[in-house]
Amino acid sequence: MQYRTLGRTGIKVSPYCLGAMMFGGIANADHDDCIRIIHKALDFGINFVDTADRYSSGESEEIVGKALKGRRDNIVLATKVHGPMGEDPNQQGGSRRWITRAVEDSLRRLQTDHIDLYQIHRPSPDTDIEETLSVLTDLMRAGKVRAIGSSTFPASEIIEAQWVAERRGLARFRTEQPPYSILNRSIEREVLPICERYGMGALVWSPLAKGMLTGRYRKGQPLPESLRVKVFREQMADERNLDAVERLIPIAEAAGLSLTHMAMAFVMAHPGVTSAILGPRTEQQLDDLLAGAEVVLSDEILNQIDDVVAPGTDAGPMGAVYSPPAVTLTSLRRRPLAERRAA
């Protein structure tokens, strides 16, 4: 295993990071099975594990905590905070009030006294980034957190966080966790170059585009029953995504590769990517992903992929990414009707 440095933290991590989103009631509720999957990944040489408090309402963290007993010191453990963890409106977000409590809950579930990488899962438009960085800085000084990062932040907010940290003398984000795949390449325009400029590690999620790049979802065929289809049916059925997949499959076959292995090797080829997050639900899925760990794509294959989905573009809309209020709130996109009429 050729380990890489996580940004400029000095922390060495494996090129593959084991993502734990599928562990727990949301996908695989068998704790013993999940623990076997985690142990197999660690035995393979993966030393980087990523979870989040909201995955299965904390159950994922509990499973990871049990799996790392006796092996914690050799693992770079990452988790995230931001998503709602209850009905109370203050049990979410990036405020000092919530993060101070949430980190203690995560530490308890993970059965550890520190988190190696604590990430803000999504931006909080209603919270000053200085508020968030301030509490994270205090957690680092208290020894509960070793490094901090962001996840799915727009380029402008990554830069703002870096500037605020510098001007206020606060700890700065050392990593960004964005979505990245052959079908979802928008971060090549700004996010990855910005990460490289600021020395931030990039651990990319959904390198298989929510399963679209496994070959299970084909044009003209009914969608298989799965959790991903239930949640992301619109994206799975999008004609542009399906058209791209049909053009990618022959490229993989000509290279003697599965579409899955070609997709994983594609994201690892970008110089700005530190690690790609694997999200297996079963041991069989993990075995298949690990079997392609040594695949390296030639320039010819990468050029062919570029012809299908151009650099910096997306084949079709993919869900679960962050949309800023300027897009989601009608009031920020339209002048009041009276004002429009007066004009």
Confidence (pLDDT) at 232 = 67
When the pLDDT of each residue in the chain is averaged and rounded to a whole number, the result is 94
pLDDT at residue 317 tops 80: no
Between residues 64 and 221, which one has the greater pLDDT?
64
Q: What is the mean pLDDT of residues 306-310?
A: 97
Confidence (pLDDT) at 236 = 67
Q: Which domain, by its residues, includes 88?
A: 4-342
- Per-residue pLDDT of 176-228, as tens digits, reads 999 999 999 999 999 999 999 999 999 999 999 988 999 887 877 777 777 66
Q: What is the mean pLDDT of residues 295-318?
A: 94
pLDDT at residue 252 tops 80: yes
- Per-residue pLDDT of 146-160, as tens digits, reads 999 999 999 999 999
Q: What is the mean pLDDT of residues 307-336?
A: 87
Between residues 338 and 297, which one has the greater pLDDT?
297
| Domains identified in the chain, total number | 1
pLDDT at residue 164 tops 70: yes
Between residues 341 and 60, which one has the greater pLDDT?
60
Query: Which are the contacts of 337, defined by CB distance < 8 A and separation ≥ 6?
Result: none
Q: Which residue is catalytic, options 3, 16, 55, 118?
A: 55
Name the residue among 253, 221, 252, 223 with its Cα closest to residue 235: 223
Confidence (pLDDT) at 339 = 84
- Per-residue pLDDT of 255-275, as tens digits, reads 999 999 999 999 999 999 999
* CATH number of the domain to which 142 belongs: 3.20.20.100
Confidence (pLDDT) at 284 = 97
Between residues 113 and 230, which one has the greater pLDDT?
113
Confidence tier at 45 by pLDDT (50, 70, 90): very high
Q: Is 118 a catalytic residue?
A: no
pLDDT at residue 145 tops 90: yes
